Amino acid sequence: MRSSPRPTRGALESHRSRGTRHSSPGTHRRRRVWSHGPDRHRHRRPGPGYHRDPRPGRLPERPLGGLVQALASCGVEMRTNKGGLPAEVAGRGHIAGGEVTVDCTESSQFATAIMLIAPLFDDSVRLLLTGLTGSSGYLEVSRQVMVSFGAQVEPIEGGFEIRPSGYRGASFTVEPDASAAVYPLVAAAITAGRAEIEGLHIDSSQPDLRLADALEEMGCQVTAGEEAMVLTGPERLNPIDTNMAEAPDAALALAVACLFANGESRIGGLASLRHKESDRLRPLVETFTELGARARVEGDTLVVTPGRLRSAVIDSHGDHRVAMSLALVGLRVPGVAIARPEVVAKTWPGYWSVLERMVSGG
């Protein structure tokens, strides 16, 4: 089967958002954002009152201690369920600021959370990061967006200095999401097809574009200009030995590409995948084995040995990226099905329609 994924064309949309001040004193608020990791962190700038975050699913199992400790050092009172969700925050309408140390060993999202709300603190924040072995690119993307909206954020040794500048309205062009682009790129790579992603340019700072470099190492032809990125897949992919610590989410789709390489591949830097919407390494190993390949985890490295692949019903484990990545196997292997496919609605509701167009070449 050959697939030539084509870009979805459409008019540039414009949206206007109106800022609001925090709630009135004494209010009690409850917010549900289900299993979306970043949202649970962004809403931590509490206004006066009492705020509760009740969560079902995988989120209560995901570690929250690094964020709790960081907020506590700013004087924020926060109670959790044994270091996880549900969480309760006592809002006082202001946060002092000062020096804040965030342990990023398990997730850089804790640092992102503090960065996003720090311009609203009473004083400057000196944000120091420890245990940051990867994902620093995501922090830089956050910094660039914050600066575009008037925040004063400066890189310093070991972290960032953030002044209490607040935010101001601005016009901002959002480039295509590289985290979504990885799927059509891998689709083209494994089918000797062609994918063109309009709007992704060569100087993009999105970390997940590391995937394009990895696919190029595997034999794909990649060209990136000012207006689009184009990838053409080879007849057969080469195996790869690479580190994806800076783009761990994209590593799932890369692992699927490794199923169709002509030898054993190794993808390192994946420790953080154990703390996502699912333990993402476990379903990869289980599913690859079920499909007829061999896979194992050595420390933070996934080792994939291709085999004669067969059909299977694949459990999405309630994880949108697991579902979207493993579904790509079906472009080459008949009879592959995804259980609980609706989970993709979290980030790409139209994913299955796009995948169908890849298969039909339309």
Domain definitions of the chain by residue range: 28-162, 178-360
**Count of Cβ atoms closer than 10 Å to residue 314 Cβ:** 24
Share of the chain above pLDDT 70, in %: 80
Which tokens is 235 given?
A: 């007849």
Class of domain 28-162: alpha beta
Q: Which one is predicted more confidently, 39 or 76?
A: 76
At 289-320, the pLDDT tens digits run 999 999 999 999 999 999 999 999 999 988 99
Predicted confidence (pLDDT) per residue in 54-108, tens digit: 444 555 566 677 888 888 888 888 888 777 778 788 877 889 899 999 988 777 8
User: Is the pLDDT reported for residue 29 higher than 70?
Assistant: no
Inform me whether the pLDDT recorded for 112 exceeds 80: yes
Please give the model's pTM, rounded to 2 decimal places. 0.78
In this chain, the answer to whether the domains covering 28-162 and 178-360 adopt an identical fold is yes
Say how many C-beta atoms besides its own lie within 10 A of residue 122's C-beta. Answer: 13
**How high is the mean pLDDT of the chain?**
84
Q: Which of residues 54 and 137 earns the better pLDDT score?
A: 137
> Which residues have a catalytic role annotated?
249
Which pLDDT does position 87 carry in this prediction?
Answer: 79
Q: Which amino acid is at 160?
A: F
Q: Which pLDDT band holds residue 203 (cuts at 50, 70, 90)?
A: confident
Q: In percent, how much of the chain has pLDDT > 90?
A: 58
pLDDT for the residue 34: 39
pLDDT interval class at 50 (50, 70, 90): very low
26 band by pLDDT with thresholds 50, 70 and 90? very low
- pLDDT given at position 89: 84
Q: Tens digits of per-residue pLDDT, 151-168?
A: 999 999 999 999 999 999
Token pair recorded at residue 332: 């080459």
For residues 176-215, b (16+ Cβ closer than 10 Å) or e, as one string?
bebbebbbbbbbbbbbbbbbbbbbbeeebebbbbbbbebb
Q: Which of 66-70, 219-223, 264-268, 345-349 has the lowest mean pLDDT?
A: 66-70
Query: Which CATH architecture is the domain 178-360 placed in?
Result: Alpha-beta prism (3.65)
Dmax (CA) of the chain: 64
Residue 353: which residues within 8 A CB-CB, separation 6 or more? none
Residue 1 confidence (pLDDT) above 50: no
Residue 333 pLDDT grade (very low, low, confident, very high; cuts 50, 70, 90)? very high
Which of the pair, 209 or 40, is modelled with greater confidence?
209
| pLDDT value for 185 | 97
